[in-house]
A and B are shown apart, each in its own frame.
Chain A
Amino acid sequence: MNSALIFSGAFLAASVEMVEALTIVLAVGVTRGWRASLVGVGVGLLALAVVVGALGPSLVTYVPLNALRVVIGSLLLVFGLQWLRKAIMRATGRKALHDESLIYQREVAELEKDPIPLGFDWVAFTVSFKGIFLEGLEVAFIVLTFGANHGSYGLTLIAALAAAVIITSIGLLVRAPLSRVPENTIKFAVGLLLTSFGTFWTGEGVGVDWSLSDVTIPILIGVFALASFVLLRYMRPTTTKPVTRPEVITS
């Protein structure tokens, strides 16, 4: 049960971030050419591997487990609550939906302003690198935190790799932003999972004695889901006021 939930959480969270990274890389590749863009992707992945390799083992080896649980649990908690809050606001129309097509168009328009040089295109490299590295850091954060609490990184790494393979394959096939991915629904589910795991691990870290042990996790998911649906229903506007698209949401 616990492993399945950890796998689902890591997979879904990684998928959302990878869709965002893919949108940036596709925009750069299509407008400025693929060579510098793919070099940026490669260097970004390398930098990520170094960060994960340096942080991963030291987390488990040198930091006491309870301190690790408090730090990781509270980060997951605040991260999960942020996603949940945004997902509820978007579902109720109080915040514009995260529109990958719009982000793609904005990226393309920005990139077309700069002339493409004859030599190596550093603009394409930098934008791709930043897209992969920053979105990848969020994936790495999920993989490391879930892995550290689960006791091994194998499961969460497989989940993130599976997400990478699936999202990249779809991106290569459609060669367009994945705007049909129901991102808000996925963010809602991931927000629930992160908040529940964060609550459980933080509790363990500060000394809360969960009387039902690991069974508490699905109970927390159920309670938070129910409460979120109540909040969602309560927050729905009684008079319809359509939300326009004033800006591109990038997080």
Chain B
Amino acid sequence: MKYVRGFILFWWDFIVGDSVVLAVGTVATILLAFGLAHSAVSDAAQVVLPAAVLLTLTVALARRWS
């Protein structure tokens, strides 16, 4: 049990670290890109994806800042 907990904590720290916003924002960004890439406006995905990444970073920094 101790090792399982340690294993989960390691991966949590590795992926989420001290910012849940980044992890959640990354997942939301990927889902958005997937949706756009398979829609009628698929070309927009190549602009929206980097923009969403930057928005995630900005929100994560703003939350820490405030």
Q: Residues of A with Cβ closer than 8 Å to B?
A: 70, 74-75, 77-79, 81-82, 84-85, 88-89, 94, 134, 138, 195, 199, 202-203, 206-211, 216, 220, 223-224, 227-228, 231, 235, 251
Contacts and interface: CB of A to CB of B under 8 A. Distances in A.
Contacts of A199: 49-50, 53
B34 to A, nearest CB: 4
Interface in B2-33: 10, 13-17, 19, 22-23, 25-27, 29-30, 33
A209 B26 contact: no
Please tell me the size bucket of the interface on B.
20 to 34
Interface of B: 10, 13-17, 19, 22-23, 25-27, 29-30, 33-34, 36-38, 42-43, 45-46, 49-50, 53-54, 56-58, 60-61, 64-65
Given A195-B53, A203-B46, A208 B33 contact: yes
A228 B23 CA distance: 18
Nearest to A203: B49
Classify the secondary structure of A's interface with B.
helix
B65 A235 contact: yes
A202 B33 contact: yes
Contacts of B57: 81, 84-85, 195, 227-228, 231
A75 B16 CA distance: 10
A71 to B, nearest CB: 10
Given A203-B33, A224-B50, A81 B65 contact: no
- Lowest 4 CB-CB distances: which A-B pairs, in order? A207-B37, A206-B34, A208-B45, A78-B26
